[in-house]
Amino acid sequence: MDFCLNILSLCGSLALFLYGMKIMSEGLEKFAGDRLRNILAAMTKNRFMGVLTGIFVTALIQSSSATTVMVVSFVNAGLMTLGQSIGVIMGANIGTTVTSWVISAVGFKVNIAAFAIPLLAIGMPLIFSGHSKRKSLGEFIFGFSFLFMGLNYLQVAATDLNIGVGVANMLSTINSDSFLVILLFVVVGALVTMLVQASAATMAITLMLFDMHIPGFGFEQAAALAMGQNVGTTITAFMASLTANTQARRAALAHMFFNVFGVVAVLCMFYPSCRAVSWFVTDVMGSEDNDLYKLSAFHTAFNIFNTVILIGFVHQIEALVCKVLPVKDQDEEQYRLRFISSGLLSTAELSLLEAQKEITNFAQRCHRMFGFVLQLMDIEKDEEFNKLYSRIEKYERITDDMELEIANYLQKVGEGRLSNESKFQIQQMFKQITELESVGDSCFNLARTLNRRRQNSKDMFTDNQIEHMRFMLNLVDNSLDEMVRIVDFSNPKPENINLSMNLEHEINNYRSQLKSQNLHDINDGVYSYQLGVFYMDFIAECEKLGDYVINVVQASSY
């Protein structure tokens, strides 16, 4: 009974540690908000700035997995190039070593849990604050407290289970100094990290075991476990990229290649590397009393070494992953979302980036569909007309599917932990996709009106009618141009939407003018009543389309 209770305590302590890291990371991401995203997007002009950015962001949010998944999300959304992402990933590997230094300094020598409880009292009022920034800061404090409480309870549970004795007994049956055993520890470190999906947690366990001074589990064995964690942590970004686009999968593959190469390179000179780190910590740092510093120093040196060696080969790494994962030729009119997928819900805040980019893609697709209507006006041959009409009909189905898929994605994002600003942003996105789907319906209705006239009337539109229709289509095309520019969040946000409003008013006025003129022309026998119906159906649909466009613009301008 006691054994089962201790096992559950160990698992619960690990769960508290992981939950604390998750809450702390999410709290900081929400607190930083757009500033964090702007840092990643702007400070990656070259590979060296990318590395520094990766170090800074990962040290800030205390999770290399969160940083790499964030980077994969940015590449997937087209906000960052593959080359820029490789530099940030290199920096993330260095930044994640901050956690081990913090644990080495205070994790096992000071009862940090005693300080964590009072911190909860500070964080509680912030958690219930109505201000989103203060609430996010409160979440960070709670996460920090849970993280070190979990670390403390993890050590207690491990002691109660006599894990040190168990590991010692296991190692007593093998030659722990054998290089094959070192390789085994690398594999174990990778597998455990893949399982818990957090290299920081595996590193905390390794530091805890190392601090127990278990016979047969010395510095070399602990260092091998730490190297394995660098391989295991790549699985998080890799899994996140499975349903993403090709560029995102390449970024995840580059992360995996970088870490695996580093492990193989260091294994070739493993024992000299361990001796060099031991000398540095003991003789240079003067920290012979704290063996944990040796492991933290090895972890840091390992990642710095990899970065220094490979930073000059970013273009080669990029070329390699592009060769391994070539872009497949796909029909642009096959329905698929380009930027969002179920596998990229890393955090709710960051997932909004994918949704924004996909809505831009939605708007561009609607504009392209309208361009087909313009082409349809000029086609005389039935075969060519029917072919393009079928293409427009296919696009209409695609817009229906895109609305549904983006809405489902936004609903999932809305279930996450969001700031008030992001909740409002999601409401606006729902409005955008609803109106964009209506734009697609209107485009199809325009094509259907032209088709009905072709099928049910032998009369051709008069030259004046065609001139008026083209002028109206030109106004709508201009409004769609402006809509796409405003919806594209990578462009500077417009100070006003006066141009769109003016175009919408012009469309309304022109429709009213043509409606009056149409009645006079029918009465005067210029053309038949039936042809006038088709003509005004077309003009009225253009006016409706303009209304949908201005609704999208207004939803995008807040």
Span 531-555, mean pLDDT?
A: 93
Kindly state whether residue 337 falls inside one of the protein's structural domains: no
Considering the entire predicted model, what is its pTM? 0.60
User: Is residue 441's pLDDT more than 80?
Assistant: yes
Say what the pLDDT of residue 44 is. Answer: 56
48 has pLDDT over 60: yes
Residue type, 203: M
Question: Is 148 inside any structural domain?
Answer: yes
The rounded distance, in Å, linking the Cα atoms of 258 and 2 is: 44
Q: What pLDDT, on a 0 to 100 scale, did the predictor assign at position 432?
A: 94
Based on the fold, state whether residues 443 and 496 are members of the same structural domain. Answer: yes
Burial status of residue 92 (CB atoms within 10 A of its CB: 0-12, 13-18, 19 or more): buried
Measured CA distances, 516 to 106, 519, 536, 543 (Å): 82, 6, 10, 15
Domain with residue 541: its CATH number is: 1.20.58.220
Q: Are residues 132 and 257 in the same domain?
A: yes
What are the tens digits of pLDDT across the range 214-230? 777 788 888 888 888 88
For residues 316 and 353, state if they share a domain. Answer: no
Mean pLDDT confidence for 281-301: 76
Q: Quick check: 345 pLDDT over 60? A: no
Domain end residue (candidates: 271, 297, 324):
324
Q: With respect to residue 122, please indicate whether it lies within any of the assigned structural domains.
A: yes
Confirm whether 336 is domain-assigned. Answer: no
46 conformational bin, left if phi > 0, alpha if psi -120 to 50, beta if neither: beta
Does residue 334 lie within any of the structural domains? no
Higher pLDDT, 468 or 12: 468
At 403-426, the pLDDT tens digits run 988 898 888 887 766 777 778 888
**Is 12 inside a domain boundary?**
yes
- Specify the higher pLDDT residue, 527 or 17: 527
Residues 110 and 259 in one domain: yes
> What SS3 class is residue 503?
helix
With 70 as the cut, is the pLDDT of residue 377 above it? yes
253 pLDDT exceeds 60? yes
Can you give the pLDDT at residue 331? 42
Number of separate domains in the chain? 2
Answer yes or no: do 198 and 243 share one domain: yes
Same domain, 366 and 298: no
How far apart are the C-alpha atoms of 242 and 230, rounded to whole Å? Answer: 20
Where is the domain boundary, 281, 296, 324? 324
Residues 122 and 184 in one domain: yes
Whether residue 64 contacts residue 198, with contact meaning beta carbons closer than 8 Å, is answered with: no
Residue 332 lies in a domain: no
- Residues 294-335 have pLDDT tens digits of 888 888 888 888 888 888 888 888 888 888 888 654 444 455
Q: Is the pLDDT of residue 93 over 70?
A: yes
What is the domain range of residue 413? 342-556
Do 215 and 119 fall into the same domain?
A: yes
DSSP assignment string, 485-546 = HHH-TTSPPPS--HHHHHHHHHHHHHHHHHHHHHHHHHHTTSS-HHHHHHHHHHHHHHHHHH
Q: Show which of 294, 324, 354 is a domain's final residue.
A: 324
- Residues 371 and 241 reside in one and the same domain: no
Cβ neighbour number for residue 500 with a 10 Å cutoff: 25
Q: 216 — alpha (psi -120 to 50), left (phi > 0) or beta?
A: left
- In contact, 24 and 144? CB cutoff 8 Å: yes
Residues 410 and 475 grouped into a single domain: yes
Listed in sequence order, the DSSP H helices in 197-269 are: 199-211, 219-232, 234-241, 246-267
What pLDDT is recorded for position 330?
A: 45
Please, which pLDDT band fits residue 503 given cuts at 50, 70 and 90?
Answer: very high
486 vs 25: which has the higher pLDDT: 486
Please check whether residue 330 lies inside any domain of the structure. Answer: no
Return the pLDDT at 471.
Answer: 94
Mean pLDDT over 348-370 rounds to 84
pLDDT at residue 170 in the model: 60
Indicate whether 372 and 286 sit together in one domain: no
Pair (452, 360) in one structural domain: yes
